[in-house]
Structure 1
Amino acid sequence: MDNTDNIILSILKENSRASASEISKQVNLSVPAVTERIRKLELSGVIEKYTVRANPYALGYNLLAFVIVKVDCSENLEAFQDAIAGLPQVLECHHTAGPGDYLLKVLFRDMQDMENFLSRTLKDIRGVADTNTIICLSTLKEEITV
């Protein structure tokens, strides 16, 4: 990747619907050259997919929390991973080193929704031994920049 690829990627991260024509004007390349660069970024896996970023607050999700989860033994890791993968309110799940085994990023409508998730959904998953929940008050930065 060169500087032009980085600029193209930055434009697409800001607006994944930007046309090759729009991008070509910003990077001073022909439309076919931009199209080819985008194709190469896709084929190399730099661009994984194009998506819409929905505003969770506009959809009624007003509470974001991070949940640290300890799993009781390695025999239950696969069951835990399968269960978490199927939960739509879990935005991210990271296997971690530190105070817990997994860090979940979870969206909730309200405190009752969070309580139901923690008390019923999460603690009912085989292997969940302990959780620690951190409520997000605000988000200063949330993006992937490379």
Structure 2
Amino acid sequence: MDSMDKKIIEILQENSRLTNKEIGAMIHLTGQAVGNRIIKLVENGIIRKFSVEIEYPKTQFIRVFMDRNNFSDFEQFVNSCEAVSSIYKVSGQACYMVIGHFLDDSLNEFIQEISKYGRYSVEAVVADKTSRNNMI
């Protein structure tokens, strides 16, 4: 991956709806050259997918410390929750990191359910300080 590929990725991260021609105009390449580079980035596994980023009203990071090893039941339950965007099995103190977008009442219900599997801690996002999200 060279500096041109990195520029293409940066542009796609900002706005993946741009055409190859529009990206090419920004970095002085033809649309076809941009398209070929994107294809190679996908084939090499550097770009895994193109997605839409949703602005959620609330975000929580929930660490789960399992009391028992009923991992598949826990994973099945968490994956069935619409407000959960990601669940990761992690190393360290916690067993899982769940990223959710629960409103207050649904968070309380979720917490009651996961407490059947183990202990938890909830960290709620109060502000997104990612520099690329704060550009105007």
Question: What pairs with 1:39-58 in structure 2 (closer than 5 Å)?
Answer: 39-57=39-57
% identical equivalent positions = 25
Q: What SS does the aligned partner of 1:108 have? A: coil
Alignment partner for residue 114 of structure 2, among 108, 122, 144?
122
> Any unmatched runs of 5+ in structure 2?
none
Q: What SS does the aligned partner of 2:109 have? A: helix
The normalised TM-score by structure 2 is 0.85
Distance 1:40 1:30, change over 3 A: same
Q: What SS does the aligned partner of 1:38 have? A: helix
Partner of 2:38: 38
Distance 1:29 1:6, change over 3 A: same
User: 1:28-61 deviations in whole A, cap 9, x for unaligned?
Assistant: 112211111011112222222222222223xxxx
> Any unmatched runs of 5+ in structure 1?
58-62
Paired with 2:80 and 2:125, the residues of 1 have a C-alpha distance of 23
The normalised TM-score by structure 1 is 0.80
Query: Per-residue deviation at 1:113?
Result: 2.1
User: 1:90-121 deviations in whole A, cap 9, x for unaligned?
Assistant: 12222222332111111112x222111111x3
Partner of 2:68: 73
Q: Which moved more, 1:48-57 or 1:16-25?
A: 48-57
Query: Per-residue deviation at 1:19?
Result: 0.6
Given the alignment of the two structures, is residue 138 of structure 1 paired with residue 127 of structure 2, yes or no? yes
Partner of 1:3: 3
CA RMSD of aligned residues (A): 1.9
